[in-house]
Amino acid sequence: MRQEPEIDYLEQIKHAKDHIKNVFKKNIDIGIILGTGLGQLINQIDVKHEIPYDEIPFFPISTVESHSGRLVIGELSGKIVVAMQGRFHYYEGYSMKEITFPVRVMKAIGVSKLFVSNAAGGLDPNHQIGDLMILNDHIDLFPENPLRGKNLDSFGVRFPDMSEPYCSEFIDRAIAIAKDNNININLGVYAGVQGPNLETKAEYKYLRTIGADAVGMSTIPEVIVARHMDMKVFAVSAITDLCSPGNVKEISIAEVLAAAAIAEPKMSLVIKELVREV
The tens digit of pLDDT for each residue in 71-120 reads 999 999 999 999 998 889 999 999 999 999 999 999 999 999 999 999 99
In a domain, 135, yes or no: yes
In a domain, 4, yes or no: no
Phi, psi of 16 (to 5 degrees): -65, -45
- Looking at residue 2, its pLDDT comes to 53
Could you say which DSSP state residue 198 is in?
Answer: P
d(CA 144, CA 219): 14
In a domain, 147, yes or no: yes
- Looking at residue 64, its pLDDT comes to 58
- Name the nearest CA neighbour of 138 among 238, 225, 211, 234: 211
Residue 194 lies in domain: 9-277
- Asked whether the beta carbons of 31 and 105 are under 8 A apart, the reply is no
Burial of 136 (0-12, 13-18, 19+ CB in 10 A): middle
In a domain, 2, yes or no: no
- Give the chain's domain count: 1
Strand partners, 215: 121, 191
Residues of the chain whose pLDDT is less than 50?
A: 1, 4-5, 67
